[in-house]
């Protein structure tokens, strides 16, 4: 008779064997991963306008037998794709898909060269995560069918992540109610994962609008009440406030409406703020201060103020059990083998943007990320809301060049080159292997939930920043996409005619400055 230890040992060997098969299957799908990465890169769609990207990616999932819900949370480009093989854990795989304004850029070219001048582009690298997840999911699905392994896979897109304007809505509307855990993937320049409070902030995104009265600016200015004066005074008020903000807080604003022409007193003006801090209470304190300053600005100008929440993101907290399990697979997979051309491109781009990092692409793995002793400020991601709803981690995968400034054309250069393709394949291996770990060992799911309930949730309780009725701001970016979509569409990647997007664009890889 076999001892318990021997049975577990045998089953561990079987699981490891299946994971190694999955790794090989992902490698065999490298070509289809490349096509998906290139294709989404070429669509270059801003938040809430991921029309081509969503229709292309869901068509692949639909063909593979996933059931798709379209237009979830009243967001036309949002979707939930589900495939079940019976009883077992429900694991969600998510990643963002939108791009960055004015980041249009030829891939593989180590200096600024827009495909379409002024157009949006993948200057954040969100074209790579869903292709990675799809490759991983299709491999796991095949193995689940072959081995009669129970469980459910859910794939979902982070719509309008750059506006942090979809994930809190998905949580509010119940799409994560029946999910056991979530693996999120995000482009980076190494292959890593962390647990605990992530570095960076959460935020509330609020637009303040002022309404005054127009008048002839020269003929009868005393009859006008300027909404622009109110918006400017609010900005000035906030800039005085800024001196007294804790250094972990971050805030920034743009004017979204400022009048039509100088000889008409502006009757409408709006200013849009991102208010960030490392914890929920800090974010809400800033929100209250901003509301007070907005009201005061309205009083000073005898105008009327209204505000609306445009986006929210909770500070992120990642699951220890999922991160530790995933990290074993990261060590197994390792970083991609970079070619001389990959390194040449990376170093040329680092030089071009005066990066302090001039070592090219990463060649050693980062350690498992543990919580920092004191919080570290920085960017936000609305995956935070999901990380407070279900046990979640973010796998960061090496599809981009280290040391770039972010949200910039330089961050698009690698994103349809072998660097992005290899990084996505490495990430897909880790995701597929980690999903198999949790499907084969549901006790790990229980442990992840135990951490979520008894460690993470002891620290903080999730309170949504949006109300039951706040609508997602789906009208944003409409004008920009109306202008640029017709100019970008001739450049969409045609995989039936070309092997790669670089080939279609006629780019020698890499293209770097002569000296
Ligand atoms: Zn991002």
pLDDT of the residue at 207? 98
pLDDT of the residue at 56? 98
Crossing angle of helices 4-28 and 320-333, in 10° steps, is 60
Model pLDDT for residues 479-513, shown as the tens digit of each residue: 999 999 999 999 999 999 999 999 999 999 999 99
- Answer yes or no: are the C-beta atoms of 248 and 283 closer than 8 Å: no
Per-residue pLDDT band at 11 (split at 50, 70, 90): confident
Give yes or no for residue 6 having a pLDDT over 60.
Answer: no
Cα separation, 26 vs 226, whole angstroms: 60
**Is residue 79 classed as helix, strand or coil in its secondary structure?**
strand
Find the 100 Cα to ligand 1 centroid distance in Å: 10
Torsion region of 145: left, alpha or beta (phi above 0 gives left; psi -120 to 50 gives alpha): alpha
**Is residue 432 classed as helix, strand or coil in its secondary structure?**
helix
Find the 312 Cα to ligand 1 centroid distance in Å: 14
pLDDT of the residue at 10? 56
Give yes or no for residue 145 having a pLDDT over 60.
Answer: yes
Q: How many CB atoms lie within 10 A of CB 368?
A: 17
Give yes or no for residue 21 having a pLDDT over 90.
Answer: yes
- Give percent of the chain above pLDDT 90: 97
Find the 188 Cα to ligand 1 centroid distance in Å: 9
Find the 126 Cα to ligand 1 centroid distance in Å: 6
pLDDT of the residue at 311? 98
pLDDT of the residue at 384? 98
pLDDT of the residue at 352? 97
Residue 78 backbone phi and psi in degrees, to 5: -90, 150
Find the 186 Cα to ligand 1 centroid distance in Å: 6
Per-residue pLDDT band at 4 (split at 50, 70, 90): very low
Cα separation, 161 vs 380, whole angstroms: 10
Find the 148 Cα to ligand 1 centroid distance in Å: 36
Find the 132 Cα to ligand 1 centroid distance in Å: 15
Give yes or no for residue 2 having a pLDDT over 70.
Answer: no
Give yes or no for residue 60 having a pLDDT over 90.
Answer: yes
Find the 121 Cα to ligand 1 centroid distance in Å: 13
Across the chain, what does the average pLDDT equal?
96
Find the 187 Cα to ligand 1 centroid distance in Å: 7
Look up tokens 């990642």; give the residue: 318
Find the 66 Cα to ligand 1 centroid distance in Å: 26
Cross-strand bridge partners of residue 204 = 275, 312
Find the 252 Cα to ligand 1 centroid distance in Å: 18
Model pLDDT for residues 415-471, shown as the tens digit of each residue: 999 999 999 999 999 999 999 999 999 999 999 999 999 999 998 999 999 999 999
pLDDT of the residue at 372? 86
Cα separation, 113 vs 374, whole angstroms: 40
Model pLDDT for residues 256-306, shown as the tens digit of each residue: 999 999 999 999 999 999 999 999 999 999 999 999 999 999 999 999 999
Find the 407 Cα to ligand 1 centroid distance in Å: 9
Tell me which long-range contacts 225-229 makes (C-beta under 8 A, separation of at least 24): 225/265, 225/267, 225/301, 225/302, 225/303, 226/265, 226/266, 226/269, 226/301, 226/303, 227/259, 227/266, 227/267, 227/268, 227/269, 227/301, 227/303, 228/258, 228/259, 228/266, 228/269, 229/300, 229/301, 229/303
Find the 306 Cα to ligand 1 centroid distance in Å: 30
pTM of the predicted model, to two decimals? Answer: 0.96
Cα separation, 462 vs 176, whole angstroms: 14
Find the 41 Cα to ligand 1 centroid distance in Å: 14
Query: What residues contact 299, with CB distance under 8 A and at least 6 apart?
Result: none
Half-sphere exposure in the Cβ direction for 139 (13 Å, CA):
31
Find the 346 Cα to ligand 1 centroid distance in Å: 20
Cα separation, 504 vs 515, whole angstroms: 27
Closest CA to 74 of 466, 471, 382: 471
Cα separation, 390 vs 459, whole angstroms: 15
Find the 124 Cα to ligand 1 centroid distance in Å: 6
pLDDT average, residue stretch 108-136: 98
The protein residues having their C-beta less than 5 angstroms from ligand 1 (an ion) are 124
Find the 165 Cα to ligand 1 centroid distance in Å: 13
Compute CA distances 500 → 331, 395, 416, 432, whole Å.
Answer: 30, 26, 8, 25
Look up tokens 């290899």; give the residue: 422
Model pLDDT for residues 176-218, shown as the tens digit of each residue: 999 999 999 999 999 999 999 999 999 999 999 999 999 999 9
Find the 352 Cα to ligand 1 centroid distance in Å: 22
Cross-strand bridge partners of residue 273 = 206, 253
Model pLDDT for residues 329-361, shown as the tens digit of each residue: 999 999 999 999 999 999 999 999 999 999 999
Per-residue pLDDT band at 514 (split at 50, 70, 90): confident
Cα separation, 406 vs 172, whole angstroms: 30
Find the 329 Cα to ligand 1 centroid distance in Å: 23
Find the 129 Cα to ligand 1 centroid distance in Å: 10
Give yes or no for residue 473 having a pLDDT over 60.
Answer: yes
Quickly list DSSP for 297-308.
HHHHHT-EEEEE
């Amino acid at each position: 008779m076999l001892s318990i230890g021997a049975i577990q040992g045998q089953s561990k060997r079987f699981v490891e064997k299946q994971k190694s098969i999955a790794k090989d299957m992902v490698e065999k799908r490298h070509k289809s991963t490349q096509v998906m990465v290139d294709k989404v890169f070429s669509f270059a769609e801003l938040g809430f306008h991921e029309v081509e990207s969503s229709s292309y990616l869901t068509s692949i999932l639909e063909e593979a037998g996933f059931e798709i819900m379209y237009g979830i949370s009243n967001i036309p480009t949002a979707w939930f794709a589900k495939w079940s093989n019976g009883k077992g854990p429900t694991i969600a795989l998510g990643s963002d898909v939108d791009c960055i304004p004015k980041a249009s850029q030829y891939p593989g070219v180590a200096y600024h060269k827009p495909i379409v001048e002024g157009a949006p582009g993948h200057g954040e690298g969100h074209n790579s995560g869903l292709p990675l997840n799809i490759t991983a999911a299709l491999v796991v699905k095949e193995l689940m069918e072959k081995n009669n392994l129970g469980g459910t896979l859910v794939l979902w897109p982070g719509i309008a992540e750059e506006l942090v304007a979809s994930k809190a809505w998905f949580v509010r509307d119940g799409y994560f109610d029946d999910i056991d855990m979530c693996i999120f993937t995000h482009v980076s320049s190494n292959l890593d994962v962390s647990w605990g409070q992530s570095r960076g902030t959460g935020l509330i995104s609020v637009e303040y609008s002022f309404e005054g009265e127009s008048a002839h600016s020269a003929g009868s200015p005393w009859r006008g009440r300027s909404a622009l004066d109110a918006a400017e005074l609010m900005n000035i008020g906030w800039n005085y406030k800024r001196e007294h903000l804790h250094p972990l807080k971050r805030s920034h604003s743009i004017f979204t409406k400022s009048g039509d022409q100088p000889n008409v007193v502006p009757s409408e003006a709006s200013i849009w703020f991102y208010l960030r801090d490392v914890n929920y209470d800090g974010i809400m304190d800033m929100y209250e201060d901003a509301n007070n300053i907005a009201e005061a600005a309205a009083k000073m100008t005898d105008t009327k103020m209204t505000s609306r929440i445009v986006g929210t993101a909770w500070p992120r907290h990642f699951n220890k059990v999922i991160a530790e399990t995933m990290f074993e697979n990261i060590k197994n997979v390792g970083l991609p083998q970079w070619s001389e051309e990959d390194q040449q491109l990376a170093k040329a781009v680092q030089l071009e943007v005066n990066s302090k990092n001039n070592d090219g692409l990463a060649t050693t793995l980062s350690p498992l990320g543990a919580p920092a002793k004191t919080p570290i400020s920085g960017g936000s991601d609305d995956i935070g809301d999901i990380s407070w709803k279900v046990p979640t981690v973010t796998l960061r995968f090496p599809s981009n060049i280290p040391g770039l400034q972010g949200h910039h054309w330089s961050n698009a250069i690698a994103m349809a080159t072998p660097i992005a393709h290899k990084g996505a394949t490495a990430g897909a291996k880790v995701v597929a292997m980690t999903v198999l770990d949790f499907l084969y060992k549901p006790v790990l799911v229980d442990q992840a939930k135990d951490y979520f309930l008894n460690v993470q949730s002891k620290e903080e309780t999730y309170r949504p920043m949006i109300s039951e009725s706040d609508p997602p701001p789906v009208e944003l970016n409409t004008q920009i996409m109306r202008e640029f979509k017709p100019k970008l569409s001739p450049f969409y990647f045609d995989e039936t005619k070309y092997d790669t997007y670089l080939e279609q664009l006629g780019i020698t890889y890499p293209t770097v400055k002569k000296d």
